[in-house]
Structure 1
Amino acid sequence: MTASTPRRTAASRGRILAAGAIAVTGALLLAGCGDQTDGGGEGGGATSDAPLFDKLPKKIQDEGVIKVGTDAAYKPMEYKDGQKIVGLDPDIADAMGKKLGVRFEFTNGTFDGLITSMQTGRFDMIMSAMTDTKDRQEGLDDKGKKAGKGVDFVDYLTAGSSILVKKGNPEKIDSVEQMCGQKVATQRGTTSHEILKKQTEKCEKDGEKAISIEPFDTDDEARVRLKAGGVVADVSDFPVAANAAKAGKDFEVVGEQMESAPYGMAVSKTNTELRDALKEALAAVIKDGSYDKALKKWGVEDGGVDSAKINAGS
């Protein structure tokens, strides 16, 4: 997730790095979470004859595991099925793990704390529908001030933010410009949250009432609020909004996607060896078709990329 960078064109979750204090709080909350799943194959240990095994840092080769931080409440990108974390991100990681010869081990935590937790060594990387933004690359908060160390991204999907409303769209909302004076839900610290902040500033500048933004820790909580009628809309990444609309009869997606941007796998800037290995593994699964297979499985083909890139966000 920068201050105003979008999520994807057809499947994106641009969550944003919150200010330092919030990030530290998120990190403390994260420390208490222990839900895990293994991506990249069953069983432990590394496979040294895998085509890209030699590209990995020695520490990861020895452990046979890449530790991944995620916020598993963002279906279809990542969510919990019982005690296991499943979704598009784990499936892409599983395919990459076969090229690298190691497992990807996902651990669930609070989105706002993921970058801080990775920088302190809890994870090797983050894969959590996180939007690649210049602010995140540089470690800036939503005010443009230094809030921590920056990260590098290996970009693997594109998406934007979408508007989710109750079925039938009773309030006739189809753009954020119509939300002045309304109550709107979103997930805290995401690009969707930033879109609403910018719009409410515009509302006030134009002499209209501000949007009453209700930020929640997860998008699941935001949708519960929408279903109960407490807000007129929930703004979230397109893949998540589309999945919620498809999964039942309560919601529908309206309007156009906003601020499309790449999702990236985040790594510390000092961990260039892992970053480059991930880029090669992503390129390999794009080439062999397993990447497209995963996108089709989760219905997010429109957000697919043709090549693996580093720090393509703006």
Structure 2
Amino acid sequence: MNSSKYLACAAFALSSLIGTDGWVHAKDWQVVRIATEGTYPPFSYLQGGELAGFDVDVANALCAKIQAKCEVVAQEWDGMIPGLMSGKYDAIVASMAITEERKQKIDFTDKYYATPARFIAAKDSGITDTTPQGMTGKVIGVQGSTTQGTYLEDLYKDSEVKIYKTVDDAAMDLATGRLDAVFSDAAILYGWLKTEEGSCCDFVGQEVRDDKYFGVGKGIGVRKEDQDLRDKLNAAVKAIVADGTYQQINQKYFPFSIY
């Protein structure tokens, strides 16, 4: 190795160990800071002032497996990846789809769940065809900065796509008749349909699966330089699936497997 390449590699290795206090530290991952959204029930939401939900339970189970203290914090969706890259936290457990676009910036573990996207509409809407042609002229709500939003904007050119801060905001507009449909992750929509507000509506059309937009599932996001943490979390996902912990969490929120 020539001297310039050696110095570059050494500088990169050193930079990955420098803490926020300016001192050099080895990463032992005794404490792992994890970001989730907190407005995405049943995956993450506030309950009694504390973060709860499927993603939060999975995060805590993974930390237990790697014998680390979990610090789960809420982060708005639009700032999720920038916050990880800037060092605000160490990992993202927030139902984030593994996509090629996101992998340009961060790395992911293997999937920890995979569900299709779906449309929901009022029970008396008459909507059965949710293809781009079938939804011509319809007003569709979707959460911004999501794979579902990109999918609609790219393919549903003859529909009016309305962007919302959260899925709940879009769903409430659907319940009050301001939208014809809402498009999101099926598991998220299933949780809302079971609420009093969601009794107005139901799934319409078919499941939507497209690896180009939705990836192969939802993964845990980590910085590219933190391969050791990614490997630990990958092993932990396999462990909680093998020992039944994952299934217990799954059954707490869904009557069907989402793994």
Fold conserved between structures, TM > 0.5:
yes
- TM-score of the aligned structures, taking structure 2 as reference length: 0.82
State which structure, 1 or 2, has the greater radius of gyration over its C-alpha atoms: 2
**Does the alignment pair 1:222 with 2:155?**
no
SS of 2:127 mapped into structure 1:
coil
Of 33, 36, 59, the match for 2:27: 59
What's the TM-score, normalizing by structure 1?
0.68
Q: State how far apart, in whole Å, the 2-side matches of 1:174 and 1:107 are.
A: 40
Shift of 1:221: 0.6
Match of 1:262 among 194, 217, 220: 217
Q: Superposition pairs for residues 1-314 of structure 1, below 5 Å?
A: 58-61=26-29, 64-138=30-104, 149-166=105-122, 168-177=123-132, 178-201=134-157, 210-248=158-196, 249-259=199-209, 261-299=216-254, 301-304=256-259
The runs of 5 or more residues in structure 1 that have no matched partner are: 1-56, 139-148, 202-209, 305-314
* 4+ runs deviating over 4 angstroms: none
Shift of 1:169: 3.5
What's the CA shift for 1:69?
A: 1.4
Tell me: CA distance 1:150–1:93, structure 2 relative to 1, closer, same or farther (3 Å). closer
Equivalent pair of 2:174/2:182 in contact (CA under 8 Å): yes
- Percent identity between matched residues is 25
- Paired residues in the alignment total 227
Superposed CA deviations along residues 242-266 of structure 1, whole A, max 9, x for unmatched, are 1111223222112222126300000
How far has the Cα of 1:291 moved from its partner? 0.6
Quick check: 1:163–1:233 contact (8 Å CA) kept in 2? Answer: yes
Which whole-Å CA distance do the structure 2 matches of 1:232 and 1:95 have between them?
39
With CA pairs under 8 Å and 6+ residues apart, which has the higher RCO, 1 or 2? Answer: 1
- CA drift of 1:60 comes to 4.8
Q: Which runs of 5+ in 2 are unaligned?
A: 1-24, 211-215
The alpha-carbon deviation at position 286 of structure 1 amounts to 0.9
Q: What root-mean-square deviation, in Å, do the aligned CA atoms of Structure 1 and Structure 2 show?
A: 1.7
Cα distance in 2 for partners of 1:215, 1:300 equals 30
- Please state whether the residue corresponding to 2:94 is helix, strand or coil: coil
